[in-house]
Structure 1
Amino acid sequence: TKETRNSITKNAKRIVLASFYSATFAQRIWANQTKLINRLSEGLERSILQGENPGAWARNFRDLLTKEMADTGKENALYAANRIAVTETARVQSETAQESFRKGGFEKMIWITEMDERTCGVCGPMDGEIFDVDGAQIGGELPPMHPFCRCSVAAYYERDSEALE
């Protein structure tokens, strides 16, 4: 519905502009770089609202980064654009999921690690861990733990073992 879409957009913007490790979204990227911040914010909204792959809009974001990082080369700009796009999208998705769990009445969530040859030593042991929804923080009980983190969380409900009998 239109009301749901407006609510999601409002929450996504609130989360994007929230403080993270004592710095706001804008401060973490570049101070006073309105054009870059707007482009990144638009990309994050497309990822969250339309399911667009962060890599798709990161290529457009790269062009702006190339201008800002002219002396470091296009490869560095593309890498930085991809890192920011993927990691910020993961952060917004985690915080949106956490808010959804709260609204759905869930008190717990389960950590899901993408287990393969690329799984890092930080995220591997987190797979299947159960955390409280309230008080969970990015980089602690909520992914991403690091740039390019592929982990996620899901609502968790502990069934009463007696009810299963």
Structure 2
Amino acid sequence: MVELGAFEQEGLEKMLQEAYKNGYLSTMKGLDSASSFFSVNNEAMAKTLNEKWTNGANFSERIWENKEKLINTLNNEIRDGIIRGDSYQKMNMTLRKRTEVGAYESLRLTVTESSFVTNQANKQAFMDAGIERYEISAVLDKRTSQTCEHLDGQQFKFKDAKVGSNFPPFHPWCRTTIFGIEND
């Protein structure tokens, strides 16, 4: 399990680095006000990846927390199954159900962390281009949260951006993003 956690952490870290680079570069390419010579600031990217932006933990710490919960759950299920006298088939079914929950949590972590990193990369690109304000852009459909629906179209200053309050992501699975507002 420890190897699995390290593998998951390394894979997610590489994916988040690519998400940051792609978000930053695509934002800069789309700006008229951006210099034609720009590159990703690796220091800013590392700071974003290590930021403890929710529940006082960064993505790496949340991966290890998920792994520890999964290990404890598996150990408890096996122990309890033996005590109850469950068949191997019944314990196997229980463990499969539990690991599906682990896979769901892992996917939720990946999607939410990607949202955080991409929005941070966009924010950095806009700020590097001298843009001071942004507008919230929510995906409006039947799955849209009340928070995202309420914030859609609202404008804020980058210097006042606070993740979860006036800057995405606002919740797990958040699909909301931002776009820069050209200075007057």
Gap regions ≥5 residues in structure 1: 37-63, 160-165
Which consecutive unaligned segments of at least 5 residues does structure 2 have? 1-24, 26-37, 78-94
SS in 1 for 2:136: strand
Say which SS state the counterpart of residue 111 (structure 1) adopts. strand
Instruction: Please give the TM-score of this superposition, normalised by the length of structure 2.
Output: 0.58
User: Matches of residues 137-152 of structure 1 in structure 2 within 5 Å?
Assistant: 137-152=162-177
Partner of residue 7, structure 2: none
The answer for the alignment partner of 1:60 in structure 2 is none
Aligned to 1:131, the other structure's residue is in SS state: strand
Distance (Å, rounded) in 1 between the aligned partners of 2:69 and 2:120: 26
Alignment match, 2:17: none
CA offsets per residue over residues 89-145 of structure 1, 9 Å max, x none? 111111111111111101110100000111111110111111101120110121010
> 1:21-100, aligned counterparts within 5 Å?
21=54, 23-25=56-58, 26-30=60-64, 70=74, 71=77, 73-100=98-125
Specify the SS of the correspondent of 1:80. Answer: helix
Task: Give 1 or 2: higher helix fraction.
Answer: 2
Task: State the SS of the aligned residue for 2:146.
Answer: coil
| 2:39 counterpart residue number | 4
Q: CA RMSD in A?
A: 2.9
Q: Taking every aligned residue pair, what percent have the same amino acid on both sides?
A: 22
SS in 2 for 1:23: coil
One-letter code aligned to 2:64: W
| Distance in 2, Cα, partners of 1:122 & 1:107 | 23
Counterpart residue type for residue 49 of structure 2: V
Within the alignment, does 1:101 sit opposite 2:126 as a pair? Answer: yes
Size of the aligned set, in residue pairs, is: 126
Q: What's the offset of the Cα at 1:19?
A: 2.7
Structure 1 residues 68 and 103: CA distance shift in structure 2, 3 A: farther
Determine which structure has greater relative contact order: mean sequence separation of CA pairs < 8 Å that are 6+ residues apart, divided by chain length.
2
2 CA distance for matches of 1:101 and 1:22?
27
* Higher-Rg member (1/2): 2
Which TM-score applies when normalising by structure 1? 0.65
In structure 2, what is the Cα distance between the partners aligned to 1:116 and 1:97? 23
Q: Are 1:65 and 1:81, in contact at CA under 8 Å, matched by a contact in 2?
A: no
- Residue 156 of structure 1 is matched in structure 2 by 181
Taking the aligned partners of 1:66 and 1:21, their CA distance within structure 2 comes to: 20
Alpha-carbon contact 1:138-1:144 (below 8 Å) kept: yes
